[in-house]
């Protein structure tokens, strides 16, 4: 069971890396326009209000994102020259290796919380 979970985690990290690599590929002049167009459509699908299987249906609603998006990402990767894709995968892997700052995240969260408190204060002050 543990081996299966590890393989699933590896697969998810590969999909995540390839999604970031596709982002970089859409800005590369060596990538054909049709590959860029398909990549943009794939990226827009999770953000779209139109869904093949509505998300409010329990379990089944998420299957299109869990199955179709990785398949679509794998498909558009095939439209890009392997050497170009390898270059963008390396860049994406480097981006994933960068350290993250918990302090920076806490500061951003604090700024948002302060903004929310100020807006609520401003709205209540006007009454």
Asked whether the beta carbons of 18 and 73 are under 8 A apart, the reply is yes
Domain extent at residue 20: 2-100
The predicted structure's pLDDT at residue 118: 93
pLDDT tens readout for residues 3-53: 888 888 888 888 888 888 888 999 999 999 999 999 888 887 776 767 666
The predicted structure's pLDDT at residue 55: 66
12 in any annotated domain? yes
> pLDDT at residue 113 above 80?
yes
Look up tokens 């302060």; give the residue: 114
Asked whether the beta carbons of 73 and 15 are under 8 A apart, the reply is yes
Q: What is the domain count for the chain? A: 1
Closest CA to 26 of 15, 40, 42: 40
The predicted structure's pLDDT at residue 47: 67
pLDDT tens readout for residues 81-112: 999 999 999 998 888 777 777 888 888 889 99
pLDDT tens readout for residues 40-86: 888 877 767 676 666 667 777 777 777 888 888 889 999 999 999 99
127 in any annotated domain? no
106 in any annotated domain? no
53 in any annotated domain? yes
23 in any annotated domain? yes
The predicted structure's pLDDT at residue 2: 75
The predicted structure's pLDDT at residue 46: 72
Give the C-alpha separation, 110 to 120, whole Å. Answer: 15
The predicted structure's pLDDT at residue 85: 92
105 in any annotated domain? no
């Amino acid at each position: 069971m543990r081996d299966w979970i590890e393989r699933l985690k590896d697969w998810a990290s590969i999909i995540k890396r390839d999604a970031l690599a596709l982002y970089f590929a859409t800005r590369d002049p060596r990538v054909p326009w049709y590959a860029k167009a398909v990549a943009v459509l794939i990226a827009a699908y999770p953000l779209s209000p139109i869904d093949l299987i509505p998300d409010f249906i329990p379990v089944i609603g998420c299957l299109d994102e869990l199955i179709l998006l990785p398949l679509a990402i794998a498909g558009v990767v095939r439209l890009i020259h392997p050497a170009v894709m390898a270059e963008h995968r390396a860049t994406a892997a480097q981006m994933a290796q960068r350290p993250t700052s918990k302090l920076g995240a806490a500061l951003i969260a604090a700024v948002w919380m302060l903004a929310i408190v100020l807006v609520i204060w401003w709205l209540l002050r006007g009454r």
